Amino acid sequence: MSDPVMTSSETPPIPQKVTGLRRAALAEFWHYFAMNKGAVIGLFVFAALVLTAIFAPLIAPHPFDMQYRDALLVPPVWQDGGRAAFLLGTDAVGRDILSRLIHGARYSLFIGFFVVIIALVSGVILGVLAGYFRGWVDALIMRIMDIILAFPSLLLALVLVAILGPGLFNAMLAIALVLQPHFARLVRAAVMAEKSREYVTSAKLAGASHIRLMLVTILPNCLGPLIVQATLSFSNAILEAAALGFLGMGAQPPTPEWGTMLATAREFITRAPWVVTFPGLAILITVLAINLIGDGMRDALDPKLKRS
């Protein structure tokens, strides 16, 4: 009985085929992604934000912590009393708001990347273990995820930060922990669905190890929903970190993190509304851009929507 799958002569051409397939898949992805105009706009805004964050010291007109004692609470340039030197005005100690916002982009994007990577990696590991082994491993992991999800995310993050001590790093860890169960659940469901498929059985028969089956055979086929979830978590992380900063439990002043800026600006809400307006607007624009990208990703990666 011949076994065509096992003949080694067929293996060499596969890598080239795979890269070709990958390029085609990428082109298809871009085709569907680009049909969503909002997503493309979001991508441009996000790219601009990344560039702003990278080149912040070059773009910012003033150092973010420079206090101009002769320019306290100067309104934006288009209002009476505004100065051209401070386009978006200054805060209560005379710091240029625009420069602080530009530097703040670094914090927000860093928070987003850091939290998503931690939550993604730990969630994928737990989800793959649970979905692949089932049984008590699955029960244990998923019950722990249920417990984390039973607490309102912000409340749990707050208590965790209270335990670890207020600060940006601890806030990021806490947020990663509360976002992580979503990844674990998603990966578990996807792994369970893929596990019984024929290509997995054939890989198993070919003698692939557990690790190989989990990470090389199954995981890449769960990638679509994971990417969408990662995008959503990115914007969630930025929002939650800003909320923690606003409540005084995230980044501490004088860090130019947008939520923290809002917290210190609260007392000037009636006297100097611009101190409150712009940091929040920066958060909204960033989160909106990422969510637009997320919507486009879902359109492009969800095969059910594609056919309709």
Partner 1 sequence: MLRYILNRLALIIPTVIGISIAAFAFVRLLPGDPILAMAGEHGVTPERYEMLKEQFGYNVPIWQQYINYVLDILQGDFGTSLSTKRPVLTDFLTLFPATVELALIAMLLAIIIGIPAGIFAAVKRGSWFDQLTMGVALTGYSMPIFWWGLLLIIFFSGTLGWLPVSGRIALNFFFRPITGFMTIDSLLYGNWKAFVSAIRHLILPAIVLGTIPLAVIARQTRSAMLEVLGEDYVRTARAKGLSPSRVVNVHALRNALIPVVTTIGLQVGMLMAGAILTETIFSWPGIGKWMIDSIAKRDYVVVQSGLLLIALIVMAVNLLVDLLYAVINPRIRVQ
Residue 21 or 269 having the CB closest to partner 1: 269
Structural tokens at position 59: 């773009």
Among 91, 233, 291, 296, binds partner 1 (CB under 8 A): 291
Q: What are phi and psi of 202, to 5 degrees?
A: -65, -35
Q: For the range 71-75, what are the long-range contacts, defined as Cβ-Cβ under 8 Å and sequence gap of 24 or more?
A: 73/268, 73/271, 73/272, 73/275, 75/272, 75/274
Least Å from the CB of residue 73 to partner 1: 15
Among 36, 260, 295, 300, binds partner 1 (CB under 8 A): 295
What is the number of other CB atoms lying within 10 angstroms of the CB of residue 78?
9
Considering the rule CB under 8 A, would residue 159 count as an interface residue with partner 1?
Answer: yes
Residue 102 or 158 having the CB closest to partner 1: 158
Considering the rule CB under 8 A, would residue 173 count as an interface residue with partner 1?
Answer: no
Total number of residues binding partner 1 (CB under 8 A)? 45
DSSP H or E segment with residue 239: helix 223-246
Among 21, 162, 216, 223, binds partner 1 (CB under 8 A): 162
Considering the rule CB under 8 A, would residue 277 count as an interface residue with partner 1?
Answer: yes
Considering the rule CB under 8 A, would residue 235 count as an interface residue with partner 1?
Answer: yes
Residue 256 or 259 having the CB closest to partner 1: 259
| DSSP conformation class of 96 | B
Least Å from the CB of residue 283 to partner 1: 5
Least Å from the CB of residue 169 to partner 1: 16
- Tell me the CA distances in angstroms from 207 to 3, 6, 10, 210, one per residue in order: 15, 11, 18, 9
299 vs 37: CA distance, rounded Å: 12
Considering the rule CB under 8 A, would residue 109 count as an interface residue with partner 1?
Answer: no
Stretch of residues binding partner 1 (CB under 8 A), selected from 1-9, 98-106, 185-193, 272-280: 272-280
159 vs 253: CA distance, rounded Å: 20
126 vs 243: CA distance, rounded Å: 28
Residue 51 or 269 having the CB closest to partner 1: 269
Structural tokens at position 65: 């912590």
Considering the rule CB under 8 A, would residue 108 count as an interface residue with partner 1?
Answer: no
Considering the rule CB under 8 A, would residue 253 count as an interface residue with partner 1?
Answer: no
3-state helix, strand, coil in the chain (%, to 5): 75, 0, 25
Considering the rule CB under 8 A, would residue 115 count as an interface residue with partner 1?
Answer: no
